[in-house]
Structure 1
């Protein structure tokens, strides 16, 4: 229903006769990239669903060791994300860099068949995350540049909903394979590699090589503070007729941090990431609290993914209408409520469902809303770099959270470790609510007004 809704903000354009014509609610590039993400996420989530149990129960990893490996899994992606974003803007070919990232991740899945000790597994996971880091910012830049500013939340919501469909199917496929195959884990890794290769094929055949801005109008101010037209920002021209694109240099990319809105978004994303428990740890905490059997463990991500799928588009549309700050902070408040249930709620039969529902709602309210806010704060020709800056800070912070939580679990136990994370999240959310106070009429998150 959301794809067919033509009344979205920015959904009309001027017609030659003075009337209006309806524009696409979601650009074809967004749908194509959503399909790629759907297929790729089936592959990735097949592995992610069994990996915590495989490492802890199969390879005998301690919580501290798992925390370090889980942090590495996300930290490598964070560092490479900056490189992927800058390269995509510099060579002005977002699809190429995204394709390299998708291809590298696909090649790494079958390598898990050969890795049966911690060292090789860590290397393979680091390479796989390198691929994810390369592709994330160019992919999100393609989505952002294909969408009018007032419909960014909707576009990212649609993409995240399609992506989450894959996240929903992946654990289910892993569950079925584990029950049917003799060497269950190896079978999951092998099938995952084949599915990942299909995602690369879809990218090559169906994603357009470039995404021209659609209705961008006046774009975000550049690092120097002056506004530029959407077309000039994308091509690197001054809008006076020159069509030659200007190369994006490293100095210009670094100068993005002069933008107050981008600095605020990056700082708050990192601050909140420091107290956001990773999915793998949340599922291990849920199993520890409720005693869910190993056979059912791969199905836990299905609860998160199902709620995320249902709410991703409505949350994106709501963010476009009432402001991204409110939706983003509400998502973290719901995550905090999930932590509270894990810590203090009685052992109700419904407890796993409630925690997973809150976890999925948190993702729906934050995962697409944050890049939509970044897209409104960064010039079009530096869009991938700006997205990478914020994404890198957030991922590095979550790396630190995984290591710290693993150490706290080993020293104090799961309850006190989660309580510390919950207290930290409460404080960080309060600080973020102050920093990300709206200044524009559309409620786009921003710090204080420009002086």
Structure 2
């Protein structure tokens, strides 16, 4: 597999490096947001749910828009550069937030940047490799993304241990932001066939395969139970993990995902995407059931978070490779836009509902709800998508090998 990794195109590696640097900054701040919200802005889980839900939902709408635009123009690079630039400007401003609505506005700007870059980036990755390497390419991208998610929390831990104020840590994120923009400017797009006429701005699903539409429904159900990961960090803190160790805990999750993302995603090139996704969704349900009923921290909590890293490794790259398998080549940007829209727009009710159940009923009830959604999605994927999806992906792989 190592030989196959190093034969991947330069574009895949540059995009992966951008994600590594960007996530080093983003994940340095990510574990600190709920702490900053609670200790500085004096807001609770409901405010956290509203902030994360609205921010991600807005990003998702823009992911569809940018995906459709890419299909019309065949240009991804401008959106990638602008998206990373906007997010880089927004993050340091968290240091100046004096209330949670202001934090919401800043997170909103950060997610706008993500919305504008995500679908063009995914479409560019899909266009850079053949169908038999999609799992490997997206897996490598997720591995490098998660490598940044290891570096970032470790930096946060080091700064917190050195008694650096939370506000100052947010300001440090400006340095990797500038580096990200420089790398984005170095991205090379593969030559696209010249357009004889510019296609209309069409965001609709009517000419998408029925299998892709069913897959989106499964993703929507799973995402309804996939609330913001910040609730996991909040739960860990309530179970006794000290504030200074919260970033290390999230770094451990990302380290597991980093190590296993490439091999597990590449495995889907041979065994099929659906099999890996079913295993991943069931693993998510088991994790949420377990952490919901856990009453103390210790080694069991850390083991569960490591197990959550395996779920991330088995699903993040595979989900996107499956989108590329199912979508027509000329509408790949729109397909990724719809996938990103669904996974983001359902995060709004997911985070709000989870936060409400968590605070109004009990934490175990919120985790039980999320785990049940994941288990239901796995069952639907097994009986509603599996058979035809396996035939479809096998056929595409055969056609690519024959060519």
- TM-score, normalised with respect to structure 2: 0.93
Equivalent in the alignment of 2:398? none
Equivalent in the alignment of 1:315? 264
1:387 to 2:368 alignment: no
Q: Which has the larger radius of gyration?
A: 1
Equivalent in the alignment of 1:250? 201
- Alpha-carbon offset, residue 258 of structure 1: 3.6
| Residues 257 and 263 in structure 1, CA contact (< 8 A), matched pair in contact too | no
Residues 282-335 of structure 1: CA distance to partner in whole angstroms, max 9, x if unpaired? Answer: 1212322x3111121222211210110010011111111100001011111111
Query: Partners of 2:227 and 2:278 in 1: how far apart?
Result: 16
Secondary structure at 1:277 match in 2: coil
| Residues 287 and 304 in structure 2, CA contact (< 8 A), matched pair in contact too | yes
| Residues 265 and 445 in structure 1, CA contact (< 8 A), matched pair in contact too | no
Query: Partners of 2:253 and 2:383 in 1: how far apart?
Result: 29
> Which shifted more, 411-420 or 143-152?
411-420
- Alpha-carbon offset, residue 266 of structure 1: 1.4
Secondary structure at 2:204 match in 1: helix
Sort the Cα spacing of 1:294 and 1:80 in 2 relative to 1 into closer, same or farther, 3 A. same
Q: Which of 61, 70, 81 matches 1:88?
A: 70
Sort the Cα spacing of 1:257 and 1:367 in 2 relative to 1 into closer, same or farther, 3 A. farther
1:30 to 2:12 alignment: yes
Q: Which of 324, 339, 359 matches 2:288?
A: 339
Task: Tell me the matched-pair count.
Answer: 395
- Alpha-carbon offset, residue 125 of structure 1: 0.4
Instruction: Give the superposed CA RMSD.
Output: 2.0
Q: Which of 101, 105, 112 matches 2:87?
A: 105
Query: Partners of 1:440 and 1:377 in 2: how far apart?
Result: 8
Equivalent in the alignment of 1:11? none
Equivalent in the alignment of 1:276? 226
1:211 to 2:219 alignment: no
Sort the Cα spacing of 1:255 and 1:296 in 2 relative to 1 into closer, same or farther, 3 A. closer
Query: Partners of 1:113 and 1:363 in 2: how far apart?
Result: 30
Query: Partners of 2:86 and 2:166 in 1: how far apart?
Result: 21
- Alpha-carbon offset, residue 51 of structure 1: 0.6
Residues 44-88 of structure 1: CA distance to partner in whole angstroms, max 9, x if unpaired? Answer: 111112111111232111211111112122111111111111122
* Structure 2 counterparts to residues 45-84 of structure 1, below 5 A: 45-84=27-66
Instruction: List runs of 5+ in structure 1 lacking aligned partners.
Output: 7-23, 213-233, 236-242, 447-451
Q: Which of 197, 220, 227 matches 2:178?
A: 197
Greater RCO, CA 8 A, separation 6+: 2
- TM-score, normalised with respect to structure 1: 0.83
Query: Partners of 2:294 and 2:249 in 1: how far apart?
Result: 19
More helix by share: 2
Q: Which of 250, 256, 276 matches 1:327?
A: 276
Q: Which of 298, 317, 320 matches 1:368?
A: 317
Secondary structure at 1:56 match in 2: helix
| Residues 39 and 166 in structure 1, CA contact (< 8 A), matched pair in contact too | yes
